[in-house]
Amino acid sequence: MFPIGDENRGIRSRPYVNYAIIAINIVVFLYQLTLTQPDLERFIRDWGAVPAEISHGNNLITLITSMFMHGGWLHIAGNMLFLWVFGDNIEDTMGHVKYLIFYVICGLAAGGLQIAINPDSVSPLIGASGAISGVLAAYLVLFPHGKIRTILMLGIPIMVLVPAWGMIGYWIAIQFINGILSLGVQTKDTSGVAYFAHIGGFAAGAALVLLFRDRDIHQQQLDARANNRAFQRTPLINR
């Protein structure tokens, strides 16, 4: 299943932080494409989060830098698609600054859990999917019945509307199943999947979303999605 859009009624601000995060990820990936294979491997080794180093208190900054690195076209395309579809609603309900803090915390939690599961690994962790998992959890908590335009690959691509609880619930269930099956398996920097990073980011997002969301803005989005006529966009007034 690939999400391609969702309900955006009720959004009152442009998701500038979400745009910026996507742009930074793309710029870093384009830079990676310019590197020779030895330089790319060195870049990933230097700026990816290596569990064996992090667990000994070294190179902690890589817990953040690794969030903006990707291992291939499908890796970045999938991550940025999910962030594009789900991030704008969450940024609107939290505000720009709190959304950025929330995103980073989820990314740190994602890396932290993966490292706790496999602290001696020397394979660098890279990718934004842990932080994005937190965004998905926030969406599931705030808009469980939100309609997601989804492409199903059933021999031919078919577009259907799927409730958020079905789309995101299916996704996180797969992460848990694969995470359990991957216990004891080394994760490689460009071909493996750090399932426990997804689980860690998701858990952090679910735990923190109600602390970060603005109740009034959240309710306005819910009212707009329900076609509640009581919802009206507040006009901007220049002073």
Kindly state whether residue 231 falls inside one of the protein's structural domains.
no
Confirm whether 238 is domain-assigned: no
Query: Is residue 102 in some structural domain?
Result: yes
Residue 148 backbone dihedrals phi, psi, to 5 degrees: -110, 120
pLDDT at position 203, please?
96
Note whether residue 67 is domain-resident: yes
* Total count of domains within the chain: 1
- Report the chain (239 residues): mean pLDDT per 10 consecutive residues: 79 91 97 96 95 94 96 92 94 96 97 92 93 97 91 81 89 85 54 82 96 93 71 36
Going by C-alpha positions, the residue among 61, 71, 212, 47 that lies closest to residue 129 is: 71
Note the pLDDT of residue 60: 95
d(CA 177, CA 148): 23
Residue at 12 is within a domain: yes
Q: Which pLDDT score, from 0 to 100, does residue 235 have? A: 40
Which CATH number is 116's domain given? 1.20.1540.10
Strands 147-154 and 156-163, bridge-based pairing: antiparallel
Nearest to 43 by CA among 52, 53, 34, 51: 34
Residue 230 counted as domain residue: no
Q: Is 162 inside a domain boundary?
A: yes
Contacts of 32 (CB under 8 A, 6+ apart): 40, 43, 69, 70
Residue 126 domain boundaries: 2-186+193-224
Q: Identify the pLDDT of residue 41.
A: 94
pTM for this structure? 0.87
Q: Look at residue 179 in the predicted model and tell me its pLDDT.
A: 78
> Pairing between strand 2-6 and 156-163?
unpaired
Answer whether residue 107 is part of any domain: yes
Selection from 98, 1, 118, 133 nearest residue 49 by Cα: 118
